[in-house]
């Protein structure tokens, strides 16, 4: 799945916000906590995990990630290392200057574990959630760096 967005913030501002793993909980409703699990500086090879919101008395889902590519102000690729439901997942973010702002492209590839085979069609059909995430990202970015 791919979605794009143009924002008024500079590539440096977009990069500063999007490359901070702690900022994810400001815009991703499936993330309640973020823990960096590798030493600083944060970049290619770094690891972190997210913890989803607790639901119906159950703890949130924990997912571990590794930063596979980290090219300041232009590109980042994040891969799932461990997940209860996903066999493989890759998030790719590309940023390009456009006028006085930034063009953002998100690509997400998700492959559920066999036990969760039913998630494949659900995830592919749920592009609207990706667009909502992008809107929430935009709102959080605007709050962090007012246009």
Q: Residue-wise pLDDT tens for the chain (147 aa)?
A: 888 999 999 999 999 999 999 999 999 988 999 999 999 999 999 999 999 999 888 999 999 999 999 999 999 999 999 998 888 899 999 999 999 999 999 998 888 888 876 666 666 666 677 778 889 999 999 999 999
- Burial zone of 65 (CB within 10 Å; 0-12 exposed, 13-18 middle, 19+ buried): buried
Element spanning 92, H or E? strand 86-98
| Per-residue confidence (pLDDT) for residue 90, from 0 to 100 | 95
CATH architecture of 2-144: 2-Layer Sandwich (3.30)
| Per-residue confidence (pLDDT) for residue 125, from 0 to 100 | 61
| Per-residue confidence (pLDDT) for residue 95, from 0 to 100 | 97
The full set of domain ranges for the chain reads 2-144
Angle between helices 127-144 and 11-18 (to 10 degrees): 110
| Per-residue confidence (pLDDT) for residue 108, from 0 to 100 | 87
Q: Three-class SS of residue 110?
A: strand
Alpha-carbon distance of 47 to 136, in angstroms, equals: 24
| Per-residue confidence (pLDDT) for residue 23, from 0 to 100 | 94
Alpha-carbon distance of 78 to 42, in angstroms, equals: 12
């Amino acid at each position: 799945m791919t979605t794009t967005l143009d924002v008024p913030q500079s590539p440096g501002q977009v990069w500063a916000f999007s490359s901070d793993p702690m900022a994810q909980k400001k815009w991703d409703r499936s993330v309640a906590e973020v823990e960096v699990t590798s030493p600083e500086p944060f970049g290619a090879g770094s690891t972190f995990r997210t913890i989803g919101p607790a639901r119906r008395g159950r703890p949130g889902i924990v997912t571990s990630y590794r930063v596979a590519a980290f090219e300041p102000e232009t590109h980042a690729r994040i891969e799932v290392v461990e997940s209860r439901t996903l066999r493989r997942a890759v998030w790719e973010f590309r940023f390009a200057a456009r006028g006085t702002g930034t063009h953002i492209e998100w690509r997400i590839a998700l492959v559920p574990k066999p036990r969760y085979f039913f998630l494949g069609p659900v995830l592919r059909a749920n592009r609207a959630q990706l667009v909502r995430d992008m809107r929430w990202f935009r709102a959080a970015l605007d709050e962090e760096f007012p246009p």
